Amino acid sequence: MNLHLLDWGIIAGFLAFLLVMAATAQRYTRSVSDFLAANRSAGRYLLTLADGMAGMGAIAVIANFEKFYQAGFAASWWGLMMGPLGLIAALSGWVVYRYRETRAMTMAQFFEMRYSRRFRIYAGVLAWVSGVLNYGVFPGITALFLIHFCGLPETIQIGGTTFGTFPLVMAVMLSIAVCFTLFGGMIAVMITDFFQGQFVNIVFLSIMGLLLWKFNWGDIVSTLEQAPKGQSMLNPFDQGEIKDFNFWFFAIFGFKIFYNRLGWQGSQGYYCAAKSPHEQKMAGVLAEWRNSVTYLMFLLMPICAFVVMHHGGFAVQAAESQAALGTIADVQTQKQMLTPVVMSTLFPVGLLGLFAAAMIAAAISTDDTQLHSWGSIFIQDVVLPFRNRPFTQKQHLWLLRVSVIGVALFAFFWSWFFPLRDYLFMYFLLTGTIYLGGSGAVIIGGLYWRRATSAGAWTAMSVGLFIAISGITLQAIWPSVPALVELAPEFPVNGAWLAMIAYICSLTCFVVVSQVTCKQPFNLEKMLHRGQYALSDSRQKGDGRGRSGPLAKLFGFTEEFTRGDRAIYRLKVGWTGFWFVCFIVGTIWGLTVGIPDNLWGHWWLFTTVLGGVVGLITVLWFLIGGIRDLIDLFRTLSQARRDSADDGSVHEFDEHRDDHDVPPDAPANPPAGSGSGVAVLPAGR
């Protein structure tokens, strides 16, 4: 084993702490709303930290290790071009604000409000199938990491019986995540994810310090310079031969920032858990700061692993790593485990345990969130719409918990028996497109376009499904069909391009079919609880100066903004603007004059050090804000009155729903100024 007694003690202590916090949350889970959405009581810092940790996961770490080991620093350059896109989406509250206004607890519940009950069921089934297939490989990748990083044997003897280590580790990890979810639903998931997020950030900062001390930057640059022409790991303008993780890979993700905003339902509980739409939007604005430390580690660790494997000064560690990797029969698994195995040869006692605990925390945070999401979606959007009478609170909570266990069992067996033959990111894109292909058009159109119809929604989702299934089938059968192999040795369209094709086709079909079938514009104000339909708690009070001045209009400030909110907005604009200006200047310089590798080396050192400093400040800042939000959450939940009818059912629209019509109380014509049928509403919303 690679871990010592101290390392195992660190892991055990941290897990014990998380179990205590999950058990504490159980006393506050008294209703379906508590289980599904933490009774809509979360503040921005608690929300952004927990949601960020839920989206990271051990599998996301491994996927990024794969990407940056192949493409190096240069791959991150194209990520800078997405900064303004993310800025616009965050500052405007794109999709996030309006979705929270609907008060829906799942996206498919919103689909019933906007389209029809039958479409809710259809979308719920697609979301669930896509989600559980996507999540199905998570436990297996986590188990592989723990086995190879910790140096665990292939089999373990327990009571004279031999057990395979792989399924045993999966069973243990899934059991912990299931317990967290069953203890307190969304409340327990969010609280434990918050503490796990802070722990991971602190560990990653410590690892960054060790790597920068252990590796001479000149050695890093000189090693990366050895990459073949067209596959540079320093110069982003010399990556023409990198097939998968190149400019177009990041460009497609730039489109996804808007098209798939809130589209993926793997952490859907966080989409509706904020105490107000404004807090939901502010959590999105803070997300960039939250991601700075983790993204830096995604980048730095695989690059250091590359240096170990290709620099003569680390021959001993390279030989040790090669020997460990040689025991792994599957080639794709070797690629996934390369960086963790190399790191296990570099970290000292204590840091080994901290990193293992951080990865376990990342795995659990993703597992419990995904179990909560897919378990909830199955009951809320597949089972519940068929009921004529609502469940009792006890029945409803029992079904949700049983569904969570069912998702865990599926993931266990899928990970055990399904062979993953592609990069993790490509697998995610392929399986995700089953739902995401059409859902982006349906979500955006439903929230912003009065003329969107059920027929358009059905068409968009079906087109996305067809393209995704076709791509998955072709990728699976391609190597075994000689006629196809003669055309190309492998399926020529990777997951990223297949997803983009599905997005464009679904969006086009949605617009065309909706225009043809729309008989009467939809009443968006009623669904969003605006104007005469406004609820008493639908708007958060600011300091009363949100709309003053031309800058306020430019930034989208409203009456809900406080002085601190405006400062956070300006800080985000300045930070994103700085990096985007660097991107524009660097791109023009690189395409015209050319930038030598040694200058790129200095640039990547600057970004690494600056990211570390900002990351340290962010950890302290979010720790203070998160603790404050956590205290406020406990106080709110202890005093809140529960509404038994708030269970995800759609009552107010039931009499208006079918597959073709809109509510009869919808206005005959859109409000003045919205002749196109698109709602004209205040900026930033």
pLDDT 10s digits, 294-340: 777 778 899 999 999 988 889 999 999 888 888 887 777 788 889 88
pLDDT for the residue numbered 581: 92
Judged by DSSP in three states, 274 sits in: strand
pLDDT for the residue numbered 537: 56
pLDDT for the residue numbered 653: 46
The mean pLDDT of the chain is 81
Average pLDDT over residues 400-406: 93
pLDDT for the residue numbered 659: 39
Q: Specify whether domain 5-38+47-540+596-656 bears CATH 3.40.50.300.
A: no
pLDDT for the residue numbered 505: 93
pLDDT at 595 over 60: yes
Nearest to 53 by CA among 299, 270, 347, 371: 270
Comparison of pLDDT for 459 and 594, the residue scoring more:
459
pLDDT for the residue numbered 293: 67
Burial 364-397 (b: 16+ CB within 10 A, else e): bbbbbbbbbbbbbbbbbbbbbbeeeebbebeebb
Compute the distance between CA of residue 567 and CA of residue 400 in angstroms, rounded to an integer: 41
pLDDT at 61 over 90: no
Band (244; pLDDT cuts 50, 70, 90):
low
pLDDT for the residue numbered 174: 93
pLDDT for the residue numbered 447: 94
Dig out the tokens for 136 from the structure.
């199905």
What is the per-residue pLDDT across 340-371, written as a single tens digit (0 to 9) for each? 889 888 999 899 999 999 889 888 988 998 89
How much of the chain, in percent, has pLDDT values that exceed 70?
Answer: 86
Average pLDDT over residues 406-431: 77
pLDDT for the residue numbered 268: 80
pLDDT for the residue numbered 239: 65
Nearest to 346 by CA among 311, 378, 382, 392: 311
Band (630; pLDDT cuts 50, 70, 90):
very high
Compute the distance between CA of residue 557 and CA of residue 682 in angstroms, rounded to an integer: 10
Compute the distance between CA of residue 212 and CA of residue 378 in angstroms, rounded to an integer: 46
pLDDT for the residue numbered 359: 87
- Going by the DSSP 8-state scheme, the letter that residue 647 receives in this structure is S
Domains in the chain: boundaries: 5-38+47-540+596-656
Compute the distance between CA of residue 261 and CA of residue 439 in angstroms, rounded to an integer: 10
pLDDT for the residue numbered 650: 66
Dig out the tokens for 325 from the structure.
């990797």
pLDDT at 437 over 80: yes
pLDDT for the residue numbered 461: 93
Compute the distance between CA of residue 600 and CA of residue 233 in angstroms, rounded to an integer: 10
Band (667; pLDDT cuts 50, 70, 90):
very low
Please check whether residue 479 is in contact with residue 485, taking contact to mean a CB–CB distance below 8 angstroms: yes
How much of the chain, in percent, has pLDDT values that exceed 90?
Answer: 20
- Going by the DSSP 8-state scheme, the letter that residue 449 receives in this structure is B
pLDDT at 245 over 60: no
Least confident of 189-203, 419-433, 611-625: 419-433
pLDDT at 30 over 80: yes
pLDDT at 658 over 60: no
Band (494; pLDDT cuts 50, 70, 90):
low
Alpha helix ranges (H) inside 215-330: 217-224, 247-259, 268-271, 277-310, 315-326
Please check whether residue 573 is in contact with residue 109, taking contact to mean a CB–CB distance below 8 angstroms: no
Average pLDDT over residues 481-503: 78
pLDDT at 669 over 50: no
Comparison of pLDDT for 607 and 86, the residue scoring more:
607
Least confident of 39-48, 260-269, 648-657: 648-657
Nearest to 370 by CA among 53, 647, 26, 27: 53
pLDDT for the residue numbered 683: 34
